[in-house]
Amino acid sequence: MPLLKNALAALTLSTAALALALPAHAEGEVNIYSYRQPDLIKPLLDAFTKETGITANVLFLDKGLVERIQAEGANSPADVIFTVDIARLTEAKDGGVTQPVVSEVINKDIPAQYRDPDGNWFGLTTRSRVVYASKDRVAQNEITYEELADPKWKGKICTRDGQHSYNIGLTASMIAHHGEAKAEEWLTGLKNNLAKKPDGGDRDQAKAILAGECDLALGNSYYVGLMLTNEKEPEQKDWAAAIKVLFPNAGDRGSHVNVSGMALAKNAPNKDNALKLMEFLSAGTAQQIYAEQVYEYPVLPGAEPSDVVKSFGTLKADELPLVDIAANRKKASELVDKIGYNDGPSQ
């Protein structure tokens, strides 16, 4: 039985006891602790195993990944950490559960703006924080983040929770670009333009546009691809069909992007295999598989996004280093609370 299948079957055990029950080192295997859904990364790992003969075991966690590895300590079976955004990447580094990687292969494939200067984490794909706009009610095809605070959009914007990591990332980027005072002014203007209290996920914002509850919404670009191709819940295709994707600030600095990423676990028992996996994931074949599976943009220069993603239009990514965004996340969170963003529009 693969190493971490035992873990999946024993989640009711305490973390420490579970770690001690598992043999950490296993020849020809690598263990992944992942915030990414297993079905999204399975094609990547299958390709890795086919190329190297190394079996990849995945333990999916929807929360508490850092705390778990901390509790497992030196006995942790984790080799590689997969995360979904810059917040989780910096959380892993700050939590002391990563170790630096020096790899010419990875540094060649992944641009500096998408990796930790100390080598503790690396971005694998990017997604843009775009504007979903009603095809029927919004005529313009260009917009800026700054414009979302314009009173002309009063009562016409929907978003998810302001404290959600995706929105915190955007607000942090606004602080980095404009300073805290201007960012607060912008966020207050956005709050005043909300059609209702923030709720739901990004897909729910597209649903709200179809229902006529709002004309604009903030959402990640990849959700549009997931909705357009959703065969299990075909109503989501209608949500996606009701919107067009606007890439904010395409005419100047470019649109805010975040990343999915990877890190080498601090006590990786299968370190050599872990490094092989990380170098595989940064290279062309894996970058293309990843982009096709999750409708995100490859970080590898020259790698193409999927045809579905291309249909959204051309992304000009903001070149602001992710470490600069991460440095402002705490301030961003404080601003969200300070202005009462999640209370919704002022009456």
pLDDT in tens, 92-116: 999 999 999 999 999 999 999 899 9
Are 166 and 129 spatial neighbours (Cβ–Cβ below 8 Å)?
yes
List Cα–Cα distances, 151 to 81, 245, 300, in angstroms.
43, 21, 39
Query: Residue 24: which residues within 8 A CB-CB, separation 6 or more?
Result: 75, 76, 77, 269, 270
Residues facing residue 83 across a β-bridge: 261
Tokens of 215: 């004309």
CB 259 within 8 A of CB 126: yes
Over residues 320-342, mean pLDDT: 94
- pLDDT, position 62: 82
Helix (H, G, I), strand (E, B) or coil at 153: helix
Segment 122-139, tens digit of pLDDT = 999 999 999 999 999 999
pTM of the shown model:
0.84
- In the chain, the amino acid numbered 270 is N
Q: Kindly report, as residue ranges, where domains of CATH 3.40.190.10 are found in the chain.
A: 5-125+259-304, 126-256+312-343
Distance from C-alpha of 7 to C-alpha of 135, rounded to nearest angstrom: 47
Judge: domain 5-125+259-304, CATH 3.40.190.10.
yes
- H helix or E strand, kind and range, residue 219: strand 216-220
CA atoms of 342 and 111, how far apart (whole Å) = 35
Q: How many CB atoms lie within 10 A of CB 238?
A: 12
326: Cα within 13 Å, side-chain hemisphere: 21
Q: How is residue 255 written in tokens?
A: 């649109």
Q: What is the distance, to the nearest Å, from the Cα of residue 242 to the centroid of all Cα atoms in its chain? A: 24
- Please report which confidence band the pLDDT of residue 24 belongs to, taking 50, 70 and 90 as the band edges: low
Say what the pLDDT of residue 38 is: 83
Tokens of 115: 């990796």
Which pLDDT band holds residue 4 (cuts at 50, 70, 90)? very low
**Per-residue confidence (pLDDT) for residue 294, from 0 to 100:** 83
Give the number of other CB atoms < 10 A from CB of residue 10: 13
The beta-strand segments (E) located in 35-102 are 55-60, 80-83, 98-99
> Are β-strands 80-83 and 216-220 bridged in parallel, bridged antiparallel, or unpaired?
unpaired
**Which amino acid makes up residue 273?**
N
One-letter amino acid for residue 109 of the chain: D
* CATH code for residues 126-256+312-343: 3.40.190.10
